[in-house]
Structure 1
Amino acid sequence: MDTLAQNGAFLETPDAYDLTFNGSVSQDLLNRKLSLRSMRQCLKIAVNGYEEAVQERREIEEMKNEYEKMEPSHVFMNDYDKRILDFHLANLESSIGAPLRTVALKDWDQDDLYGFDGSHITDSLHKHFP
Protein backbone atom coordinates (compact mmCIF):
# COMPACT_ATOMS: atom_id res chain seq x y z
CA MET A 1 0.00 0.00 0.00
CA ASP A 2 2.91 2.33 0.66
CA THR A 3 4.04 1.92 -2.93
CA LEU A 4 0.58 2.76 -4.19
CA ALA A 5 0.43 5.85 -2.02
CA GLN A 6 3.89 6.96 -3.16
CA ASN A 7 2.85 6.59 -6.79
CA GLY A 8 -0.19 8.76 -6.23
CA ALA A 9 -2.87 6.13 -6.58
CA PHE A 10 -4.78 7.58 -3.64
CA LEU A 11 -4.36 11.25 -4.42
CA GLU A 12 -7.67 13.01 -4.43
CA THR A 13 -7.57 15.24 -7.47
CA PRO A 14 -10.82 17.09 -8.02
CA ASP A 15 -10.54 17.15 -11.81
CA ALA A 16 -10.17 13.36 -11.96
CA TYR A 17 -13.69 13.01 -10.60
CA ASP A 18 -15.15 16.09 -12.23
CA LEU A 19 -17.91 14.78 -14.42
CA THR A 20 -19.72 17.54 -16.23
CA PHE A 21 -22.64 16.58 -18.40
CA ASN A 22 -23.11 19.88 -20.16
CA GLY A 23 -21.60 18.63 -23.40
CA SER A 24 -18.19 20.25 -22.89
CA VAL A 25 -16.53 16.88 -22.17
CA SER A 26 -16.11 14.35 -24.92
CA GLN A 27 -17.67 10.92 -24.58
CA ASP A 28 -14.22 9.28 -24.60
CA LEU A 29 -12.91 11.49 -21.79
CA LEU A 30 -16.08 10.92 -19.80
CA ASN A 31 -15.70 7.14 -20.19
CA ARG A 32 -12.06 7.31 -19.08
CA LYS A 33 -12.97 9.38 -16.01
CA LEU A 34 -15.75 6.97 -15.07
CA SER A 35 -13.40 4.05 -15.58
CA LEU A 36 -10.74 5.75 -13.44
CA ARG A 37 -13.26 6.43 -10.68
CA SER A 38 -14.44 2.82 -10.76
CA MET A 39 -10.90 1.43 -10.74
CA ARG A 40 -9.88 3.64 -7.82
CA GLN A 41 -12.87 2.51 -5.82
CA CYS A 42 -12.11 -1.15 -6.58
CA LEU A 43 -8.46 -0.58 -5.71
CA LYS A 44 -9.37 0.99 -2.36
CA ILE A 45 -11.64 -1.93 -1.52
CA ALA A 46 -8.96 -4.44 -2.49
CA VAL A 47 -6.24 -2.64 -0.53
CA ASN A 48 -8.46 -2.40 2.56
CA GLY A 49 -9.22 -6.11 2.30
CA TYR A 50 -5.51 -6.86 1.94
CA GLU A 51 -4.67 -4.76 5.00
CA GLU A 52 -7.32 -6.58 7.04
CA ALA A 53 -5.96 -9.95 5.90
CA VAL A 54 -2.40 -8.93 6.80
CA GLN A 55 -3.54 -7.81 10.26
CA GLU A 56 -5.46 -11.06 10.78
CA ARG A 57 -2.42 -13.06 9.70
CA ARG A 58 -0.23 -11.19 12.19
CA GLU A 59 -2.69 -11.96 14.99
CA ILE A 60 -2.82 -15.64 14.02
CA GLU A 61 0.98 -15.85 13.87
CA GLU A 62 1.22 -14.24 17.31
CA MET A 63 -1.22 -16.81 18.70
CA LYS A 64 0.71 -19.62 17.00
CA ASN A 65 3.98 -18.37 18.46
CA GLU A 66 2.42 -18.23 21.93
CA TYR A 67 1.24 -21.84 21.61
CA GLU A 68 4.65 -22.95 20.37
CA LYS A 69 6.27 -21.40 23.44
CA MET A 70 4.01 -23.39 25.77
CA GLU A 71 5.45 -26.62 27.04
CA PRO A 72 3.36 -29.72 26.50
CA SER A 73 1.61 -31.09 29.53
CA HIS A 74 3.22 -34.20 30.99
CA VAL A 75 -0.04 -35.28 32.59
CA PHE A 76 -2.62 -36.04 29.93
CA MET A 77 -5.23 -37.44 32.33
CA ASN A 78 -5.96 -36.60 35.90
CA ASP A 79 -6.87 -39.28 38.44
CA TYR A 80 -10.60 -38.92 37.89
CA ASP A 81 -10.29 -39.37 34.11
CA LYS A 82 -8.02 -42.38 34.62
CA ARG A 83 -10.58 -44.02 36.93
CA ILE A 84 -13.37 -43.48 34.38
CA LEU A 85 -11.25 -45.00 31.61
CA ASP A 86 -10.33 -47.96 33.82
CA PHE A 87 -14.01 -48.51 34.63
CA HIS A 88 -14.99 -48.61 30.96
CA LEU A 89 -12.12 -50.93 30.06
CA ALA A 90 -13.06 -53.28 32.91
CA ASN A 91 -16.69 -53.16 31.85
CA LEU A 92 -15.67 -54.06 28.30
CA GLU A 93 -13.55 -56.98 29.53
CA SER A 94 -16.48 -58.17 31.62
CA SER A 95 -18.95 -57.97 28.74
CA ILE A 96 -16.79 -59.93 26.29
CA GLY A 97 -15.49 -62.33 28.91
CA ALA A 98 -11.81 -62.01 28.06
CA PRO A 99 -8.89 -59.74 28.87
CA LEU A 100 -8.51 -56.96 26.31
CA ARG A 101 -4.91 -57.90 25.54
CA THR A 102 -6.14 -61.23 24.08
CA VAL A 103 -8.91 -59.78 21.91
CA ALA A 104 -8.14 -59.04 18.27
CA LEU A 105 -10.07 -55.98 17.25
CA LYS A 106 -10.07 -56.80 13.55
CA ASP A 107 -11.98 -60.07 14.15
CA TRP A 108 -14.25 -58.85 16.92
CA ASP A 109 -17.81 -57.81 16.15
CA GLN A 110 -19.75 -56.89 19.27
CA ASP A 111 -23.08 -57.44 17.50
CA ASP A 112 -22.42 -61.11 16.62
CA LEU A 113 -24.61 -62.33 19.47
CA TYR A 114 -27.54 -60.28 18.27
CA GLY A 115 -27.17 -60.91 14.54
CA PHE A 116 -29.52 -63.22 12.68
CA ASP A 117 -28.44 -65.72 10.07
CA GLY A 118 -30.09 -65.89 6.68
CA SER A 119 -31.79 -63.29 4.56
CA HIS A 120 -33.68 -60.48 6.19
CA ILE A 121 -37.29 -59.51 5.57
CA THR A 122 -36.25 -56.06 4.40
CA ASP A 123 -34.41 -57.58 1.44
CA SER A 124 -37.66 -58.78 -0.12
CA LEU A 125 -39.77 -55.80 0.97
CA HIS A 126 -37.80 -53.14 -0.88
CA LYS A 127 -38.83 -54.68 -4.24
CA HIS A 128 -42.47 -53.72 -3.63
CA PHE A 129 -41.81 -50.03 -3.00
CA PRO A 130 -40.60 -47.49 -5.57
Structure 2
Amino acid sequence: MKKTVTASKETDGPSPSKLIDIRIKELGDWRGEMLKRIRALIKEADPDVVEEWKWRGVPVWEHDGIICTGETYKAVVKLTFAKGAALDDPAGLFNSSLDGNVRRAIDISEGAKLNEKALKALIRAAVELNASKAKKKPAKKA
Protein backbone atom coordinates (compact mmCIF):
# COMPACT_ATOMS: atom_id res chain seq x y z
CA MET A 1 0.00 0.00 0.00
CA LYS A 2 1.33 3.43 -0.94
CA LYS A 3 2.03 5.88 1.83
CA THR A 4 0.22 9.18 1.29
CA VAL A 5 2.01 12.41 2.10
CA THR A 6 0.16 14.64 4.56
CA ALA A 7 0.78 18.06 5.98
CA SER A 8 -0.94 20.42 8.33
CA LYS A 9 -0.81 24.15 8.83
CA GLU A 10 1.47 23.63 11.82
CA THR A 11 4.22 21.95 9.80
CA ASP A 12 6.73 23.15 7.26
CA GLY A 13 5.73 20.34 4.93
CA PRO A 14 4.60 20.61 1.33
CA SER A 15 1.98 23.22 0.44
CA PRO A 16 -1.59 22.06 -0.19
CA SER A 17 -1.09 22.68 -3.92
CA LYS A 18 2.02 20.49 -3.90
CA LEU A 19 0.15 17.76 -2.01
CA ILE A 20 -2.57 17.81 -4.65
CA ASP A 21 0.14 17.52 -7.33
CA ILE A 22 1.53 14.50 -5.47
CA ARG A 23 -1.93 12.88 -5.18
CA ILE A 24 -2.56 13.29 -8.91
CA LYS A 25 0.81 11.70 -9.70
CA GLU A 26 0.30 8.89 -7.12
CA LEU A 27 -3.03 7.91 -8.66
CA GLY A 28 -1.36 7.43 -12.05
CA ASP A 29 -4.57 6.46 -13.82
CA TRP A 30 -7.80 7.98 -15.15
CA ARG A 31 -8.67 9.25 -11.65
CA GLY A 32 -5.51 11.34 -11.52
CA GLU A 33 -6.21 12.71 -14.99
CA MET A 34 -9.80 13.54 -14.02
CA LEU A 35 -8.73 15.21 -10.77
CA LYS A 36 -6.16 17.21 -12.75
CA ARG A 37 -8.82 18.33 -15.26
CA ILE A 38 -11.31 19.24 -12.53
CA ARG A 39 -8.63 21.25 -10.76
CA ALA A 40 -7.86 23.17 -13.96
CA LEU A 41 -11.57 23.91 -14.50
CA ILE A 42 -11.93 25.18 -10.94
CA LYS A 43 -8.97 27.52 -11.45
CA GLU A 44 -10.40 28.72 -14.77
CA ALA A 45 -13.78 29.40 -13.17
CA ASP A 46 -12.24 31.14 -10.14
CA PRO A 47 -8.65 32.34 -10.56
CA ASP A 48 -8.66 33.45 -6.89
CA VAL A 49 -9.45 29.99 -5.55
CA VAL A 50 -7.38 28.76 -2.61
CA GLU A 51 -6.28 25.12 -2.50
CA GLU A 52 -6.26 23.31 0.83
CA TRP A 53 -5.46 19.76 1.98
CA LYS A 54 -7.82 18.59 4.73
CA TRP A 55 -9.09 15.54 6.52
CA ARG A 56 -5.91 13.53 6.03
CA GLY A 57 -5.68 13.80 2.29
CA VAL A 58 -8.66 15.47 0.63
CA PRO A 59 -8.07 18.25 -1.90
CA VAL A 60 -10.30 21.22 -1.03
CA TRP A 61 -10.96 24.37 -3.02
CA GLU A 62 -12.05 27.47 -1.12
CA HIS A 63 -13.11 31.04 -1.73
CA ASP A 64 -14.89 32.73 1.21
CA GLY A 65 -15.50 29.18 2.45
CA ILE A 66 -15.38 25.72 0.93
CA ILE A 67 -16.46 25.50 -2.70
CA CYS A 68 -15.90 21.78 -3.15
CA THR A 69 -13.71 18.80 -2.35
CA GLY A 70 -12.17 16.29 -4.77
CA GLU A 71 -12.16 12.78 -3.37
CA THR A 72 -10.91 9.78 -5.29
CA TYR A 73 -12.31 6.29 -4.87
CA LYS A 74 -11.77 3.06 -6.76
CA ALA A 75 -14.64 3.61 -9.21
CA VAL A 76 -15.28 7.37 -9.11
CA VAL A 77 -13.85 10.80 -8.60
CA LYS A 78 -16.31 12.56 -6.29
CA LEU A 79 -16.65 16.31 -6.43
CA THR A 80 -18.62 17.37 -3.34
CA PHE A 81 -20.01 20.90 -3.15
CA ALA A 82 -20.23 22.07 0.46
CA LYS A 83 -23.42 24.08 -0.14
CA GLY A 84 -24.61 22.22 -3.21
CA ALA A 85 -28.23 21.93 -2.08
CA ALA A 86 -28.49 25.74 -2.30
CA LEU A 87 -27.18 25.87 -5.88
CA ASP A 88 -29.19 25.77 -9.07
CA ASP A 89 -28.08 22.86 -11.24
CA PRO A 90 -29.83 23.34 -14.59
CA ALA A 91 -27.52 20.86 -16.34
CA GLY A 92 -28.25 18.14 -13.77
CA LEU A 93 -24.62 17.55 -12.83
CA PHE A 94 -25.37 16.52 -9.24
CA ASN A 95 -25.87 12.75 -9.16
CA SER A 96 -24.82 11.83 -5.60
CA SER A 97 -25.51 12.86 -2.00
CA LEU A 98 -28.90 14.14 -3.12
CA ASP A 99 -30.77 13.38 0.11
CA GLY A 100 -28.96 15.81 2.40
CA ASN A 101 -29.98 19.36 3.20
CA VAL A 102 -26.60 20.94 2.52
CA ARG A 103 -24.11 19.04 0.32
CA ARG A 104 -24.45 17.70 -3.20
CA ALA A 105 -21.90 15.71 -5.18
CA ILE A 106 -20.97 14.72 -8.68
CA ASP A 107 -19.65 11.16 -9.07
CA ILE A 108 -17.53 10.89 -12.21
CA SER A 109 -16.81 7.38 -13.48
CA GLU A 110 -14.05 6.29 -15.84
CA GLY A 111 -14.84 7.35 -19.39
CA ALA A 112 -17.57 9.79 -18.35
CA LYS A 113 -17.90 12.95 -20.44
CA LEU A 114 -17.57 16.05 -18.29
CA ASN A 115 -19.85 19.00 -19.08
CA GLU A 116 -17.07 21.55 -18.52
CA LYS A 117 -19.18 24.64 -19.22
CA ALA A 118 -21.86 23.59 -16.73
CA LEU A 119 -19.25 22.61 -14.13
CA LYS A 120 -17.55 26.01 -14.36
CA ALA A 121 -20.94 27.72 -14.01
CA LEU A 122 -21.64 25.63 -10.91
CA ILE A 123 -18.25 26.55 -9.43
CA ARG A 124 -18.88 30.26 -10.06
CA ALA A 125 -22.32 29.95 -8.46
CA ALA A 126 -20.76 28.32 -5.38
CA VAL A 127 -18.23 31.16 -5.13
CA GLU A 128 -21.03 33.74 -5.42
CA LEU A 129 -23.03 31.96 -2.71
CA ASN A 130 -20.01 31.88 -0.39
CA ALA A 131 -19.32 35.58 -1.05
CA SER A 132 -22.94 36.53 -0.30
CA LYS A 133 -22.82 34.61 3.00
CA ALA A 134 -19.48 36.21 3.91
CA LYS A 135 -20.91 39.71 3.38
CA LYS A 136 -23.87 38.99 5.68
CA LYS A 137 -21.68 38.00 8.65
CA PRO A 138 -21.45 40.76 11.24
CA ALA A 139 -18.00 42.16 11.96
CA LYS A 140 -16.26 40.61 14.94
CA LYS A 141 -15.87 42.84 17.95
CA ALA A 142 -12.32 43.37 19.20
Normalising to structure 1: TM-score of the pair?
0.23
Q: Relative contact order: is structure 1 or structure 2 higher (C-alpha 8 Å, sep ≥ 6)?
A: 2
Comparing both structures, which one devotes a greater share of its residues to helix? 1
Normalising to structure 2: TM-score of the pair?
0.21
